[in-house]
Amino acid sequence: MSTTNKGFNYIFNTSKEDHKVSKILSGHDADAKVVLQNLVSFDSHTRSVISSFQHRLFSTCHNLQEARHYVNQAVLDVLTSTVIRHYPMLKNLNVEAPAVKRIDGCVAEAGCSLTELLAWSSHLASPEPACEELKPQCTTQPPSQALARSAEQKIIDHQATVINHFIEHVKLQDARMDALEAKLNDPTQVARKRHKQESSTSDVSQARKKQRRGAATHLHATWYAWYAHEPQLWRAPISRQQKSDAKQLVAYMKLFLDDGFVLDATAEDFRDKVLQLGTRAEKAVLAFLDEHGIISRGSGAVLKHLRTLHRAGTLNARIERHEQLLQSAAICDPAPGYTQNVLEQISG
């Protein structure tokens, strides 16, 4: 490393300089005292609703064995306000992003609507008056027109993002209505509405084409999401096909827990126990597939192979064993009854 680089690192590689750089990149003056945004600006009723949403969003920050490991409430308020404020931007970047799905699920679980979430976001994006305590410290006043323009532009950009979100939502609703009407009407009207449906969904389809295919989901991750995520997969705001696939995959994994399993949702180590059982079932499933010359590891591919083996009658013995365990006290499953014992033996 050259002398110049060493000197540069010595001067700029400090937390104080990092704070100044972050202020400048955020549109603030380098020496200005920036107050972190929190939830104080909301009324008490709205704060109680947001608190319910916050408790589900940061579920891993509560109900720990030791209270000293809890995350400070002031920190959670700042993080929550940041998530709410930038939610329209996140959804505009990628509707299918895991973070967006997580936020939508927590909103539904808290009994809120996306309209309320967008209203909170707009409220947080509105400029706040300068703090009276900070006014005497300002020796030089920057150009008021430039600051007003900057704040106004931020509001315009945020409102445009919210409006674009509503436009995309309306387009999707129109496309679904056209598809439903096409099924109900005679074939002569199908061709007439097909052009409208394609034009209304062209922007959405182009955005989906740009998305890259993500990595395969491991079996233990699907198992953990089924039992321990909030909300659980059987009541999460996802498609019926996704719920059905997850339910069937978890049912197949249960067949490979030879001694049964016991899960108590009220136990302190519930999530740890879920992860342990999921990992154990995953190892047994993959070992079983290896015996049949199958090397797939992702949840989707494994589910297809297990369905094929099920139709061939290969899993009959395991299904019979699982039914016997269900009749005894060897299995304690916190999932709803309609999601259990969904596999039947295939008669030859």
Tokens of 175: 């496309």
**Confidence (pLDDT) at 137:** 46
Average pLDDT rounded to a whole number, residues 146-170: 68
Query: For position 285, what pLDDT does the model report?
Result: 93
Mean pLDDT of 81-110: 86
In sequence order, the 6+-apart residues with CB closer than 8 A to the CB of 109 are 56, 230, 231
- Is the peptide bond prior to 231 cis by the omega test (within 30 degrees of 0)? yes
Which carries the bigger pLDDT value, residue 125 or residue 287? 287
Q: Are 125 and 48 in contact (CB under 8 A)?
A: no
| pLDDT averaged over every residue in the chain | 77
Write down the residue that tokens 């329209």 correspond to: 88
| Whether this model's pTM surpasses 0.75 | no
Q: How far is CA 337 from CA 247, 323, 326, in A?
A: 12, 14, 11
With H, G, I as helix, E, B as strand and everything else as coil, classify residue 116: helix
Task: Give the pLDDT of residue 95.
Answer: 81
CB–CB of 192/199 below 8 Å?
Answer: no
Is the pLDDT score of 190 beyond 60?
no
Nearest alpha carbon to residue 53 among 101, 105, 98: 105
Please give the structure tokens belonging to residue 4: 């110049």
**Residue 310 CA neighbour count, 13 Å, CB half:** 18
In the chain, pLDDT over 70 holds for what percent of residues?
Answer: 75
The whole-angstrom separation of Cα 33 and Cα 260 is 59
Mean pLDDT of 75-87: 87
Residue 7 has pLDDT above 60, yes or no: no
Of 30-39, 138-147, 318-327, least confident by mean pLDDT is 138-147
Quote the pLDDT of residue 202: 53
Instruction: Average the pLDDT over 287-309 and give the result.
Output: 91
Handedness of CA 39, 44, 46, 51 (dihedral sign): positive
118 has pLDDT over 50: yes
- The answer on pLDDT for 136 being more than 80 is no
